Structure 1
């Protein structure tokens, strides 16, 4: 047990960190391994891999993700701004490189050397945008709000070109909330919303990939009969949920999951329902709901504008991403290619989520105001 009398960095971290958030992140990660044990063996066998190939890899990746989360949570707000700026610039360079050098997979260029750079851009963007908005709120003589407004198109245009409309939607929604929190005029909010709607219409009209996804969602029967679109994955996920019902068929007893192509990634909520029931999915929703409510509560209590904005942005990332993933599985939204945080299989996703959680835990630590602004630990030294 760590004593309050200890003056070590770890003791200072332990008694200032929000242990509720830390505990929920750990619970969700452990549930992810359990659910992946149910969802991934059939996929692994189809691909000629060992039965627990994806489970083993997920556990191996959880170790560096946890280390990254804890290490990042020791940083001061000043250090977080610097780290986020470095990650953002590096991530955007790699995103641009994917447009020229990545191999196209399922109609999109998102992967470079086994890495999905856009995953790391997300948390970095949220922190950098919060930084810009907070500077604009504190110093009206600094054109930080203009920089924050330019930051959005600079970030999402390369993502649209990949195309990756799931990440684009997530980043835009988080940015819009930060925009609103910064107290900018409703005229701009409405104008940006209109531009976003126009962008969706243009993408629907001229991008075959997006047109197909939306058509598949709006006119499922027509799309299936015409042979224009493949609804196999969405329909199979729906069948899995119907098969599971409220209480599920039991661990390892799922049948429909054997035919679900992305059972271990985007469609894992369908497998959760088939084997563990809607009750289990509701538990997952409540856990993410707790993260959102806890994060927004801590954001509202923070007096520093940067910390307040960044906490809200990072919190909403977890909430919006999980909501999009579950909504797609429930056929409430067109397919987006969005993972369920800490539960879906994916190296880039897991590591970037570890970074996001680390940023969030660091910014929600109970610190003296002098430490927030100076970047010096209250226990003597940089953290």
Structure 2
């Protein structure tokens, strides 16, 4: 077993003794469950399209090691380098996000992907989320430090522009995540109550507006409130999978419902987990996501640097909220929403974007991170 002395002043040595090793261990455990569930859920999906049974698994096993390496590499970075990386990722992903309207691939009525030869497709909005959280944090922190800095205005403009692009695709779920992360940062930085109230009213009005403007949103809400009003095949099938699995599951590879669930390897991967491994394992996975999120928020609250506090809060909220939306929609606690479960659902864009998210989160929540920052 390799041991790193506490007085080791190398980059790796300092990283090992300052990084949140508990959060890192939980993230590695989530990735391990991702490997297991990809093997369990992807073969039926591949067979339905006439492909090799393990084509999705093979692709995911390329992306997950890259995601792990990316997470570890970014976690070594200083806050200054995290900001620079976020700026580069944000600029590139916004350009690609705009290009989806020109060269994007339309799937189920939405243009969210750009086809890349050999890599299936890329979803730019996945990369916008973590980078925007860091940039917004920097702008808000600068605005608080320098009273005349237009940080609030610039942050609002950037978030507004991204939300406009997302809604044009349309992608309401991703828009909600971006808005919720920004709202969490505004709450932490401190705003007058009337501004917070205006934001709550504005958010509620936006949801009502989306209900009347987007037919797919209206359909999902109607089916959620009244299941008999439309097709709830995937959600009902997912619930059947959970019932079949009970507490301890039917066993690895013994699930039958996954063969009838079109999105079993992506949006409804937890249903496969519920059927084959049972409620206990599902709760363990839920606990891992909650643990990583709470560790990020706990460490962020102890920071003396406002930028690090805001950025770590935004990244932690994003990680936890995306997982919560995926799992809640699977068991019909909220209207169905196509959103991947970080590091577990199949998807290269999601795996790499989440690697950037947790890598930056681990970097910013390292002990004494504020002493490493050169603003």
Match of residue 158 from structure 1: 165
Alpha-carbon distance in structure 2 between the residues aligned to 1:244 and 1:5: 50
1:105 maps to which of 107, 119, 122:
107
Q: Counterpart of 1:248 in 2: which secondary structure?
A: coil
User: Which stretches of structure 1, 4 residues or longer, exceed 4 Å deviation after superposition?
Assistant: none
Match of residue 334 from structure 2: 333
More deviation, 49-58/87-96: 49-58
- Report if the CA contact (8 A) 1:107-1:209 is conserved: no
Match of residue 281 from structure 2: 280
Following superposition, the deviation at residue 206 of structure 1 comes to: 2.0
Q: For 1:140-179, list aligned pairs within 5 A.
A: 140-179=147-186
1:120 to 2:120 alignment: no
Alpha-carbon distance in structure 2 between the residues aligned to 1:203 and 1:293: 31
Following superposition, the deviation at residue 103 of structure 1 comes to: 2.2
Q: Counterpart of 2:18 in 1: which secondary structure?
A: coil
Which structure 1 segments of 5+ residues have no match? Answer: 224-229, 375-383
1:89 to 2:91 alignment: yes
1:54-106 residue CA offsets vs partner (Å, 9 max, x unmatched): 22221211111111111111211111111111211211111111022212101
Q: For 1:174-189, list aligned pairs within 5 A.
A: 174-189=181-196
- Report if the CA contact (8 A) 1:43-1:264 is conserved: yes
Alpha-carbon distance in structure 2 between the residues aligned to 1:85 and 1:187: 31
Alpha-carbon distance in structure 2 between the residues aligned to 1:55 and 1:175: 34
- Report if the CA contact (8 A) 1:72-1:355 is conserved: yes
Alpha-carbon distance in structure 1 between the residues aligned to 2:108 and 2:319: 25
1:239-271 residue CA offsets vs partner (Å, 9 max, x unmatched): 111211222111111111110000000001111
1:54 to 2:56 alignment: yes
Alpha-carbon distance in structure 2 between the residues aligned to 1:367 and 1:294: 15
More deviation, 51-60/102-111: 51-60
Alpha-carbon distance in structure 2 between the residues aligned to 1:301 and 1:27: 26
1:28 to 2:35 alignment: no
2:42 maps to which of 40, 43, 56:
40
Q: For 1:291-330, list aligned pairs within 5 A.
A: 291-330=292-331
Alpha-carbon distance in structure 1 between the residues aligned to 2:164 and 2:271: 32
Match of residue 79 from structure 2: 77
TM-score, scaled relative to structure 1: 0.93
Alpha-carbon distance in structure 1 between the residues aligned to 2:303 and 2:370: 10
- Report if the CA contact (8 A) 2:126-2:349 is conserved: yes
Following superposition, the deviation at residue 292 of structure 1 comes to: 1.4
Following superposition, the deviation at residue 342 of structure 1 comes to: 0.8
1:208 to 2:210 alignment: no
Following superposition, the deviation at residue 50 of structure 1 comes to: 2.0
Following superposition, the deviation at residue 4 of structure 1 comes to: 2.7
Alpha carbons of structure 1 residues 369 and 278: separation in structure 2 relative to 1, 3 Å: closer
How many residues are paired up?
Answer: 368
- Report if the CA contact (8 A) 1:54-1:345 is conserved: yes
- Report if the CA contact (8 A) 1:69-1:355 is conserved: yes
1:119-151 residue CA offsets vs partner (Å, 9 max, x unmatched): 000100110111111112222121211222222
Following superposition, the deviation at residue 346 of structure 1 comes to: 0.3
Alpha-carbon distance in structure 2 between the residues aligned to 1:173 and 1:6: 40
Match of residue 226 from structure 1: none
Match of residue 14 from structure 2: 12
Match of residue 380 from structure 1: none
- Report if the CA contact (8 A) 2:308-2:370 is conserved: no
Q: Counterpart of 2:33 in 1: which secondary structure?
A: helix
Q: Counterpart of 1:278 in 2: which secondary structure?
A: helix
Following superposition, the deviation at residue 370 of structure 1 comes to: 4.4
Match of residue 191 from structure 1: 198
Alpha-carbon distance in structure 2 between the residues aligned to 1:325 and 1:85: 28
1:269-307 residue CA offsets vs partner (Å, 9 max, x unmatched): 111111111111111111111111111110111110000
More deviation, 249-258/42-51: 42-51
Q: CA RMSD in A?
A: 1.3
Which structure 2 segments of 5+ residues have no match? Answer: 116-120
